[in-house]
Amino acid sequence: MPDDRYSNRPRRENLLAFSPPDIGQEEIDEVVDSLRSGWITTGPKTARFERALAEYAGSEQALALNSATAGLFLCLKASGIGPGDEVITTPYTFAATVNVILHAGATPVLADVRREDFNIDPVRIDQAVTERTKAVIPVHFAGRSCDMDAIGAIAKKHDLAVIEDAAHAIGTEYKGRRIGGISRFTVFSFHAVKNVTTAEGGAITTNDGETADRLRAMALHGMDKDAWKRFSPGGRWQYDIVTPGYKSNMMDIQAALGIHQLRRLEANLVKRRNIADRYHKGLSGIPQITLPRDPEDGRHCWHLFPVLIDFAKLKIDRDRFIELLLQENISTNVHYLPVHLFSYYRQHLGYKPGDFPIAEDLSDREITLPLYTRLLPDDVDDVIAAVRRIIFDNLK
């Protein structure tokens, strides 16, 4: 299916990065202000970021942390989950989602995904519930929401905690509601490649004020007051240890980035939407490629642009496809190798290839194309041209 707009386009001269952060002067100035203020750990800017995040997500409380991994773990602990309990989640996720279940002493139970959106299948969740099941962790893959009505109904029927892994989903909406205000717990990531970045970092949003107070103590050694509350004007030095906690707090240096990243998020989501639209226009109608789509019942935040390639119709496999893209000076990634195929989970949890056939099939054919706010239209067209050229040059 040649197209002169792309087939005659020359290869890029410089390497196109996969997903660099978009850091503006306002973030830089805010970080410098923190450094000069003398308050660089958890303090007033972290509190400011938490208030802004709670307002954006539509939740009563937000707790900023040093990672989404810490957030998932703390939510499990706050839900009383430990040895002997089971937690259902998806095989189509980063390993952290499963690791935190193990760290809590519980057993991860995986449920296969839906082919149309890579997200965990509620039918499979219901089938996986046992008397030991205590929670479910749905993962909103690539920025598209899981079916939260169905998951919520299953959780209510079986009295399960719902902890949303929204590492990809800041700005995602489900049936008119932003992810972050639907379940008891939602956990966001602000890693360097995310739609909002604090370099490293994460957050929990919740509408449960009492549990939020407990989470704050758990996140900082079990202390009932952080340093800002003790040493800011009017504070008192005394504190209590109310639980054997952890060290998961966000620093003001990180929050200084997040304040302005979050303020620009809606404008950046428009940019991401436009890039996704440009990919769709340039790659639609090619039988060998399947493109991600918008949901009918919400808003995709387009954190990732995962495409599926039908390698059975090509003379090359995925590794060679990625190599050829790199020769075109296009960086790509793969999201993900299903977690049950990694050696640790196979050896210690007894998983094997073939256990989750939909996840495995999607993973075998998936390549993630660059999508970030600094991409220019010419950059996107370079990616489109490279993908088209490789497909048409390697048809069987």
pLDDT for 151 = 98
pLDDT for 290 = 98
Mean pLDDT of 117-141: 98
Question: Which tens digit of pLDDT belongs to each residue from 230-239?
Answer: 556 766 667 8
Alpha helices in 79-147 (DSSP H): 96-103, 122-128
High-pLDDT (> 90) share of the chain, %: 92
pLDDT for 118 = 98
Same domain? For 203 and 344 the reply is no
Same domain? For 258 and 358 the reply is no
Residues in the chain: 396
Side-chain-side CA neighbours of residue 153 (13 Å): 6
Q: State the pTM of this model.
A: 0.95
Same domain? For 306 and 210 the reply is no
Looking up residue 180, the CATH number of its domain turns out to be: 3.40.640.10
Q: How confident is the model at residue 5 (pLDDT cuts 50, 70, 90)?
A: confident
Mean pLDDT of 205-230: 85
Looking up residue 342, the CATH number of its domain turns out to be: 3.90.1150.10
pLDDT for 238 = 76
Active site residue 247: no
Q: How confident is the model at residue 1 (pLDDT cuts 50, 70, 90)?
A: low
pLDDT for 260 = 98
Same domain? For 234 and 379 the reply is no
Higher per-residue pLDDT: 8 or 164: 164
Q: Is pLDDT of 138 > 90?
A: yes
Mean pLDDT of 162-167: 98
- 175 dihedral zone (left: phi>0; alpha: psi -120 to 50; beta): left
pLDDT for 7 = 83
Q: Which of 242, 263, 284 is the last residue of a domain?
A: 263
Q: Which is the catalytic residue, given 45, 156, 194, 271?
A: 194
Lowest mean pLDDT among 3-7, 77-81, 140-144, 231-235: 231-235
Question: Which tens digit of pLDDT belongs to each residue from 301-344?
Answer: 999 999 999 999 999 999 999 999 999 999 999 999 999 999 99
d(CA 163, CA 159): 13
DSSP string over 255-267: HHHHHHHHHTHHH
Q: Is pLDDT of 368 > 90?
A: yes
pLDDT for 236 = 67
High-pLDDT (> 70) share of the chain, %: 96
Same domain? For 217 and 331 the reply is no
Helix (H) or strand (E) holding 164: strand 161-166
Same domain? For 59 and 163 the reply is yes
Higher per-residue pLDDT: 101 or 243: 101
Same domain? For 49 and 182 the reply is yes
pLDDT for 338 = 98
Q: How confident is the model at residue 279 (pLDDT cuts 50, 70, 90)?
A: very high
Q: Is pLDDT of 228 > 70?
A: no
Q: Which of 263, 281, 302 is the last residue of a domain?
A: 263
Average pLDDT across the chain, whole number: 95
d(CA 367, CA 324): 13
Same domain? For 15 and 29 the reply is no
Same domain? For 196 and 311 the reply is no
Q: Is pLDDT of 198 > 70?
A: yes
Same domain? For 200 and 311 the reply is no
How many independent structural domains does the chain possess? 2
Tokens (6 digits) for 147: 């079916």
Could you list the residue range(s) of the whole structural domain that residue 44 is in? 25-263
Same domain? For 233 and 284 the reply is no
Same domain? For 184 and 273 the reply is no
pLDDT for 2 = 58
Mean pLDDT of 362-366: 98
Q: Which of 230, 263, 296 is the last residue of a domain?
A: 263
The verdict on whether omega for the bond into residue 336 sits within 30 degrees of 0, i.e. cis, is: yes
Q: Is pLDDT of 226 > 70?
A: no
pLDDT for 227 = 54
Helix (H) or strand (E) holding 298: strand 298-299
